Amino acid sequence: MVRIPMFVLALSCGALALTAACSEPTPPTQPVAPQPATEPAVEEAARFIDAAEAELHELSTYNNRAAWVAATYITVDTEILAAAASAKLMGVQADYAKRAARYLDLKLPYDVRRRLELLRTSLTLYAPADPAKTKEVATIASRLEAMYGAGKYCPANGPCLDLEELSRIIAKSRDPEELKRAWVGWHTVSAPMRGDFTRLVELANQGARELGFKDTGDAWRSKFEMRPGVLSREVDRLWGQVKPLYDALHCYARGRLAAKYGEDVVPGAGPIRADLLGNMWAQDWSNVYDLMAPEGAVQIYDLDAALRAKEYTPIEMVKTGERFFISLGFEPLPATFWERSLFVKPADRDVVCHASAWNIDDEEDLRIKMCIEITAGDFQTIHHELGHNFYQRAYNQLPLLYRDSPNPAFHEAIGDTIGLSVTSEYLQRIGLVDQPPPASSDVSLLLRDALTKVAFLPFAILVDRWRWGVFSGDIQPAAYNEAFWELRRKYQGVAPPVPRSESDFDPGAKYHVASSVPYIRYFFAHILQFQLHRALCEAAGYKGPLHRCTIYGSAKAGERLRRMLEMGRSRPWPDALEVVTGSRRMDATAMLDYFAPLKEWLDQQNRGKTCGW
Ligand SMILES: [Zn+2]
């Protein structure tokens, strides 16, 4: 996860008239009759965008400081201060976005036009200009997020359970009745969100239309800078590439679950019950690896034990991650990173432990916030978070609106790309693993990876397929839940453990729906990370199987990567992709290469079985 300075929730002024910029109502955009561009108007546009960046930079730095304190020292007061700082930033940003649209009919220099357009599309939730409606959007959005955050299931006999506790049951229990209760329990939390969500869709669409978008889904897709309709077709094309791999994994997993639970719980054909896969949304199946492990498989190396045996501390784990980037030719992190980051959970106060990477001032004030434990998972996460930090620093010389990845998928993909290089070969080179695991354990390692990364793909598609339909009106409120389950069945091949109806609102049981965070970026990030990994391995001169490649120590791979990171968002994403891969298209064949030995093995296991659903 990364904290990006430009903010997600856009409120237009009215309710939050906190600045001079906000106090004046925005005149409507000029009708789009091309007018001769006068020099003064062009100069005014350039001055406007410079001024917008200067003010947003100041507000965003202040907002980041407030948010940092709120996340690392949770009190009533820090929450209020952080909310006020964020509301102010969002109000100003929304106002600038609306005013930016006025200049877009002019003939403008590339960098002025691009930054104006980025400003216009930098928001996520749009509020109509009417102050009462703006306030309503803000109120509903925070209420939905709070309903999710505070959501608990209170069984008739026994204490109330929150998402963490219910997730632990879904991950660990192997009793189908207990799993069902935990799943149904969490999905009671979202049922009351339906009315608010429906109203929010109406209002946000109205706000998006005021900025010239067809609807909110159109506005979200615009961040990827593809022509209308192209993004959706790209999703289909990439999904077509990886679907045979997913189908093979699904078939194998269903067989193993049937062996565990019996055919009456897991029928030999048809979708899998969504509560049996170890995760509340069936988006990551690695918690049921124990049920999936190849029979008689060689033990996978135990990184947890190695970290403990070598007496790693949290700081040493982060230093190790930093050394990975230094080995690629990046400069060491600044001293303030070590002074200001949060590495361990404080004993005396509450903090938000969810790992994140920050650049407080969008310049050199880089930090991570984690509650590091000496585990293999956290070792991976550190490499991932540092990927964000090195990205943030690489583009910090550019104009503010360029200090981001070229589309939302790239920031997440970079950290994971480096994560793919945390291989047993790498661990051996840094002295954490004594000898390379035998090639015979490759299938087990790949299966464990696939349960996380391949199993995730269809879920990552359907969340926004559903929302795009909702925003466009193709999916009407009366069919919200039915349409959601049609998509889950179609893409994931899963089904609810009990019948659902329109008195439920199951999409809201996912954080990103309750809190209006777009999701398709995670699908693209999962495809991109393998594509980038393969290209960087080639740059490093690596020849063997892709899943064993690490770019650790390769100045050539580092140079290629750095050139892309330094571009920030100054050019459309195909330009950035081309720098590393030589291609302007996203391509899932690298993911297929990576998992090729597993696919072959799965096909053997599935021989004679009826696959599909
Ligand atoms: Zn991340």
CA of 554 to the centre of ligand 1 (A): 23
What are 184's two structure tokens? 């149904």
Give a three-class secondary structure readout of 4-26: CCCCCECCCCHHHCCCHHHHCCC
CA of 405 to the centre of ligand 1 (A): 12
CA of 39 to the centre of ligand 1 (A): 43
Strands 272-273 and 366-369: unpaired
Per mean pLDDT, which range of 154-163, 232-241, 393-402, 558-567 is the poorest?
154-163
CA of 410 to the centre of ligand 1 (A): 10
Options 522, 526, 539, 557, the catalytic residue: 522
Spatial separation of the C-alpha atoms in residues 242 and 246, rounded to whole Å: 6
Establish whether 357 is a catalytic residue. Answer: no
Spatial separation of the C-alpha atoms in residues 284 and 265, rounded to whole Å: 20
CA of 451 to the centre of ligand 1 (A): 19
How confident is the model over 513-544, as pLDDT tens digits? 998 889 999 999 999 999 999 999 999 999 99
The model carries a pTM of 0.90
Spatial separation of the C-alpha atoms in residues 367 and 357, rounded to whole Å: 6
How confident is the model over 210-248, as pLDDT tens digits? 888 999 999 999 999 998 899 999 999 999 999 999 999
Give a three-class secondary structure readout of 508-576: HHCHHHHCCCCCHHHHHHHHHHHHHHHHHHHHCCCCCCHHHCCCCCCHHHHHHHHHHHHCCCCCCHHHH
How confident is the model over 239-277, as pLDDT tens digits? 999 999 999 999 999 999 999 999 999 998 899 999 999
Establish whether 250 is a catalytic residue. Answer: no
Closest CA to 358 of 347, 345, 369, 344: 369
Options 269, 316, 354, 502, the catalytic residue: 354
CA of 4 to the centre of ligand 1 (A): 11
CA of 2 to the centre of ligand 1 (A): 5
Establish whether 385 is a catalytic residue. Answer: yes
What are 17's two structure tokens? 């008239």
Distances (CA, A) of 328 to 322, 331, 536, 555: 10, 9, 11, 5
Establish whether 355 is a catalytic residue. Answer: yes
Establish whether 384 is a catalytic residue. Answer: yes
What are 153's two structure tokens? 């299931």
Spatial separation of the C-alpha atoms in residues 125 and 145, rounded to whole Å: 13
497 pLDDT band, cuts 50/70/90, is: very high
Establish whether 526 is a catalytic residue. Answer: no
Structure-derived torsion over alpha carbons of residues 529, 531, 534, 537, reported in degrees to the nearest 10: -60
Options 385, 533, 535, 552, the catalytic residue: 385
